[in-house]
């Protein structure tokens, strides 16, 4: 039986002038780049302007938090999306890289009080990663790039509401 999805299936109304940085690991660039491209397409469809999209390459998933934190500290960036892929290998190296990326991205978001979204896939095989990273028209099933972009927009909207003088 299929599990119900509680993920946003659409984007909230666009917030004019939202500027988004995107840190993309160059390891498995075919898949990380596909996630970033899907995220960009979703944000543009939601009203973001092309000039407000700022992609930055990262050597790998381990380095994502540092680059994301630097970007989040900028006054002209509203949210940062992080895309990476860590595959299970013959050693437990993947565990440590995944843990460092996860904890580092969370810490950076809390330190900067800005949304830094986690789009790091942790898969056992390339086939699993392709299924999660690619849009359906490219053979994927989950399109995580689009999901991360939607989560960014919803998080920005929630933060705006949380900062409003009147809640509710």
Work out the pLDDT band at 13, boundaries 50, 70, 90. Answer: low
Give the pLDDT of residue 5.
56
Give the pLDDT of residue 1.
45
Q: Take residue 22 and report the two structure tokens written for it.
A: 């995107």
Q: Is 2 exposed, middle or buried (0-12, 13-18, 19+ CB in 10 A)?
A: exposed
Active-site positions read 93
Give the pLDDT of residue 8.
61
Tell me the pLDDT of the chain averaged across its residues.
91
pTM (whole model) above 0.85: yes
The full set of domains in the chain, from first to last, is: 20-160 (3.40.50.960)
DSSP structure class, residue 121:
E
| Residue-level length of the chain | 168
Interatomic CA distance for residues 122 and 96, integer angstroms: 11
Give the pLDDT of residue 6.
59
């Amino acid at each position: 039986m299929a599990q119900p999805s509680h993920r946003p299936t659409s984007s909230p109304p666009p917030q004019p002038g939202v500027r988004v940085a995107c840190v993309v690991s160059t390891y498995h660039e075919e898949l990380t780049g596909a996630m970033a491209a899907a995220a960009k397409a979703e944000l543009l469809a939601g009203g973001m302007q092309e000039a407000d999209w700022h992609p930055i390459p990262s050597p790998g998933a381990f380095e994502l938090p540092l680059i994301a934190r630097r970007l989040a500290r900028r006054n002209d960036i509203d949210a940062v999306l992080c895309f990476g892929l860590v595959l299970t290998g013959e050693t437990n190296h993947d565990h440590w890289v995944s843990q460092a990326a996860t904890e580092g991205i969370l810490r950076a978001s809390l330190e900067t009080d800005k949304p830094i979204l986690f789009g790091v896939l942790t898969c056992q095989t390339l086939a699993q990663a392709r299924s999660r990273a690619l849009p359906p028209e490219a053979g994927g099933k989950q399109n995580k790039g689009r999901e991360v972009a939607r989560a960014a927009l919803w998080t920005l909207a929630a933060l705006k509401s949380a900062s409003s003088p009147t809640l509710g």
